[in-house]
Amino acid sequence: MKLGAIEAGGTKFVCAIGDEEGSIFEKIVIPTEAPEITMPKVYEFFKGKGIERMGVGSFGPIDLNEKAGTYGQIQKTPKIDWIGFPLADSLSEKLGVPVTVDTDVNVAALSESRWGNATDVDTCLYITVGTGIGAGAVVNGQTLKGLSHPEMGHIGVRRHEEDSFSGACPYHQDCLEGMASGPAIEARWGKAGVELSEDPRVWEIEAHYLAQALVNYIYIISPERIIMGGGVMQQTHLFDLIRKKVVEMLNGYVSSPRLTEENINEYIVPPGLTNEAGVKGALGLAMK
């Protein structure tokens, strides 16, 4: 079956035609401008190609409540041209196929669970630490949704005792994203993370916040694996700092062989997929 897939990001739309196996036959990259400019190019690419279903992994926030009349609509976003744009409805009307939409991070989790570093488990969590912090989850093979989609980047965190930074989230100030995103690191230390590799204080504080978040996700979702991606995780030494703190913070409370000092390396891991993760995940979504 031919499927359509879109990775709809803040800077570009990656559109692809592929199949259930995750094979991609054709791909195009379209810059994200206003919907009136971007979307006609998207429709044009897919028209007449014989796709039967479509999956879209989108920037957000986006309405994912299938019971609401506004399913697949972009919500409040800094990209003001897109506020209220009916992404799912416009695609299904123009192309005449069913369209399933999910968040970029849920789609990344799905992609890792089908083709990446979580193919051997049923429940996994994907977190990206970049310009923002967002996480998605696959629970028993399905992406996690409810009222709309989870906002795991904005949970509260306990402050590090040596950290006096006020926080960078415009909504909550010192939430996880406000304390640990790439821009938060830059605002706290006056330099971008990439230039701070050698300063252990930076990563001690960063790991303190990220480990707390993972511990909370472990308590609430009980994932069988956690995948960490995004620009900040390019500091690969962070992985061991986070793993160590997660084991310490859990303090043996959750009994699982996956959460021991010996096995935590295989529990908290980098992504297995790189450049095609977004569109491949969107193919996975189209199959539902």
Residues making contact with Zn ion (CB under 5 A): 154, 169, 171-172, 175, 177
Return the range that interacts with ligand ADP (CB under 6 A); candidates 118-126, 192-200, 201-209, 278-286.
Answer: 192-200
Which one, 35 or 193, has the nearer CB to ligand ADP? Answer: 193
Q: In the complex, what is the shortest distance from the CB of residue 245 to Zn ion, in angstroms, rounded to a whole number?
A: 21
Cβ-based neighbour number of residue 57 at 10 Å: 33
Specify whether the CB–CB gap between 15 and 5 falls below 8 A.
Answer: yes
Place of tokens 């990209």: 79
d(CA 221, CA 41): 39
Which one, 156 or 183, has the nearer CB to ligand ADP? Answer: 183
The amino acid sitting at 240 is D
Site track for ligand ADP across 150-189, x = CB under 6 A: --------------------------------xx--x---
Give the orientation angle of helix 35-46 with respect to helix 87-95, to 10 degrees.
40
Q: In the complex, what is the shortest distance from the CB of residue 271 to ligand ADP, in angstroms, rounded to a whole number?
A: 11
130 binds, among Zn ion, ligand ADP, none (CB under 5 to 8 A by kind): ligand ADP
- Token representation of residue 112: 């890792």
Residue whose C-alpha is closest to residue 181's, from 157, 199, 200, 149? 157
Site track for ligand ADP across 97-136, x = CB under 6 A: ---------------------------------xx-----
Q: In the complex, what is the shortest distance from the CB of residue 222 to ligand ADP, in angstroms, rounded to a whole number?
A: 26
55 binds, among Zn ion, ligand ADP, none (CB under 5 to 8 A by kind): none
d(CA 160, CA 165): 10
169 binds, among ligand ADP, Zn ion, none (CB under 5 to 8 A by kind): Zn ion
Helix (H) or strand (E) holding 56: strand 53-58
Q: In the complex, what is the shortest distance from the CB of residue 84 to Zn ion, in angstroms, rounded to a whole number?
A: 22
Helix, strand or coil for residue 57? strand
Residue whose C-alpha is closest to residue 73's, from 34, 95, 53, 101? 101
Q: In the complex, what is the shortest distance from the CB of residue 37 to ligand ADP, in angstroms, rounded to a whole number?
A: 21
Nearest-5° Cα angle at 228, 222 to 232: 145
**Beta strand ranges found along 104-184 (DSSP E):** 124-129, 133-139, 142-143
Specify whether the CB–CB gap between 242 and 235 falls below 8 A.
Answer: no
Is 270 one of the binding residues for ligand ADP (CB under 6 A)? Answer: no
Q: In the complex, what is the shortest distance from the CB of residue 160 to ligand ADP, in angstroms, rounded to a whole number?
A: 18
Number of amino acids touching ligand ADP (CB under 6 A): 13
The answer, yes or no, to whether the previous bond of 61 is cis (omega within 30 of 0) is: yes
Is 235 one of the binding residues for ligand ADP (CB under 6 A)? Answer: yes
The residues in 35-94 that bind ligand ADP, with binding defined as CB under 6 A, are none
- Interface positions with ligand ADP (CB under 6 A): 130-131, 182-183, 186, 192-194, 230-232, 234-235
